[in-house]
Amino acid sequence: MTQRGRPRKFDRSIALRQAMDVFWTQGFDCTSMPDLIGAMKINSPSIYAAFGSKEKLFIEAVELYSVTEGEEIWVRMANEPTARLAIEAMLQASAEAYTRPAKPRGCMIVLGALHTEGGNTAIRRGLQAHRAQCMTTIHSRLELGISDGELAKRLDCRAIATFYLTIQQGMSIQARDGASREALLAVVKYAIVAWDSIISGA
Amino acid sequence: MTQRGRPRKFDRSIALRQAMDVFWTQGFDCTSMPDLIGAMKINSPSIYAAFGSKEKLFIEAVELYSVTEGEEIWVRMANEPTARLAIEAMLQASAEAYTRPAKPRGCMIVLGALHTEGGNTAIRRGLQAHRAQCMTTIHSRLELGISDGELAKRLDCRAIATFYLTIQQGMSIQARDGASREALLAVVKYAIVAWDSIISGA
DNA sequence: ACATTTTTGTATTGATCACTACAAAAAGAG
DNA sequence: CTCTTTTTGTAGTGATCAATACAAAAATGT
């Protein structure tokens, strides 16, 4: 039982990757169907047949981004033995991911759809859920540090997680504004220099 | 020699302020002329007669934002006697400005036009110039700290300024994602706790 | 009064948006 | 071969975009 009908002329996963690059660069709202048609090199009806709608294509592109570009950040974080090293690895991996030579700068999940308040709640909620997941991951690692005995129990893990997440998200803006990888890694350095003061405080 | 012709039925500065609120909330690209017509309560031809175009209206709105919402941040920064207090005041003022009860959250200059790479270079360059001005202001204050003797000469003022600017810009994303004023002030607290470690380092 | 100047509201412009109808094309199934 | 299924490319759909044409309205100037 093979496939009936006329075969596809394009590779669905390649087309999706090209759509991801466009959405990553321009965001959801500033990306038009002609933009996608040009980048994916397939006509509009093929896009709709394969992905359903611009909105569903974006959601699939975000999932692909999450796996191919974002996953490494959290894997590198998870492989570190201490909370401090985990935060450092997360920020360094982010700085590198946001400044890859031939790729769009900054994080697609942070920059992809900031202004869809009124309409497109599905898009907005999807990205917000991803960002909330980042928060949860950082927060959990800090709490693990407490149960490990690395960190004092009195520390406000949620506030500290928010601090480092704020730096990560700020780096997306910096990267989009043209900051070099070295500049972002310097930001990470200062963020980690701060660690001892932060975890010894109230 | 008074004004000839039929008098205006609207107050130009009030209309501009209402346009500012819409652009601040939705960004340049996600704001349509019908959105502006609804908010400013004047018809399309009146908008064009008074402001020239959507693009020029946005630029005027950014200038108004810079004066009415942004200026306080830099004034509070300038009034502090030390670099440390200046940075702290700048971040605290930002946290407050980004979470005012009846106003859009986050910074219009940071969030207003992130995705206008291809077209609208005028819009993009205008906001980038404003962001560069923020960088220069922070950087200059740190260098003043060096000439004052507050900070060691070996410090990399540009990198430290980038660090604190990154935190400020990250707070815009956090605010837009719903972070409370208290949460942002906690971020500021950690950013300032880091100060001693940062200025004592290389 | 009458001409001049400027704004107003209505109605519309061509361009572009996301999306699709449709028929020819290209495969397997019988 | 013919029938069925699916994709293809062309050519559009109505909706909405930013921006205007135009004439009535409302003020001043002489």
Q: Which domains does chain A have, with CATH numbers?
A: 12-200 (1.10.357.10)
Confidence of residue B120 (pLDDT cuts 50, 70, 90): confident
Confidence of residue A52 (pLDDT cuts 50, 70, 90): very high
Chains A & B: contacts with CB separation below 8 Å = 128
Confidence of residue B145 (pLDDT cuts 50, 70, 90): very high
> What is residue A117's predicted lDDT score, i.e. its pLDDT?
62
> What is residue B113's predicted lDDT score, i.e. its pLDDT?
85
Over range B63-92, report the average pLDDT: 98
Asked whether residue B5's C-beta has any atom of DNA/RNA strand D within 7 A, the reply is yes
Residue A202 has pLDDT above 70, yes or no: no
Cα angle vertex B112, ends B110, B118, to 5°? Answer: 105
Residue B79 has pLDDT above 90, yes or no: yes
Asked whether residue A59's C-beta has any atom of DNA/RNA strand D within 7 A, the reply is no
- The three state secondary structure string of B113-156 is CCCCCCCCHHHHHHHHHHHHHHHHHHHHHHHHHHHHCCCCCCCC
Residue B2 has pLDDT above 70, yes or no: yes
CB-based contacts of A55-58 (< 8 A; 24+ apart in sequence) = A55/A120, A55/A122, A55/A123, A57/A16, A57/A19, A58/A19, A58/A23, A58/A28, A58/A112, A58/A113, A58/A123
Share of chain B above pLDDT 90, in %: 91
Provide the residue type at A61 as one letter: A
Minimum-distance nucleotide, CA of A3 to C1'? C28
Partner-chain contact B162 A183, CB within 8 Å: yes
Residue A120 has pLDDT above 80, yes or no: no
Over range A138-160, report the average pLDDT: 98
Asked whether residue B1's C-beta has any atom of DNA/RNA strand D within 7 A, the reply is yes
Partner-chain contact B196 A191, CB within 8 Å: no
Identify which of A25, A162, A172 has the shortest CB distance to residue B174.
A162
What sign results for the dihedral spanned by CA atoms B78, B83, B86, B87?
A: positive
Residues counted in chain B: 202
Over range A7-11, report the average pLDDT: 97
Partner-chain contact A190 B194, CB within 8 Å: yes
Average pLDDT taken over every residue of chain B = 95
- Among B18, B103, B109, B115, CA closest to B57: B18
| Residue that has been written with the tokens 């692909």 in this structure | A64
> What is residue B115's predicted lDDT score, i.e. its pLDDT?
78
Share of chain B above pLDDT 70, in %: 97
Confidence of residue B116 (pLDDT cuts 50, 70, 90): low
Q: How far apart are CA B112 and CA B56, in angstroms?
A: 14
Partner-chain contact A159 B111, CB within 8 Å: no
> What is residue B202's predicted lDDT score, i.e. its pLDDT?
61
Residue B1 has pLDDT above 60, yes or no: no
Residue A93 has pLDDT above 60, yes or no: yes
**Residue A191, helix vs strand vs coil:** helix
Confidence of residue B117 (pLDDT cuts 50, 70, 90): low
Minimum-distance nucleotide, CA of A37 to C1'? C18
**CA/C1' separation A184–C2 (Å):** 72
Spell out a b/e string for B38-65, using b for 16 or more CB atoms within 10 Å of the CB, else e. Answer: ebbebeeebbeebbeebeebbbbbbebb
Identify which of B115, B170, B194 has the shortest CB distance to residue A194.
B194
Contact A61, A20 (CB under 8 A): yes
Confidence of residue A103 (pLDDT cuts 50, 70, 90): very high
**ipTM greater than cut 0.85:** yes
> What is residue A104's predicted lDDT score, i.e. its pLDDT?
97
Over range B30-40, report the average pLDDT: 97
> What is residue A201's predicted lDDT score, i.e. its pLDDT?
77
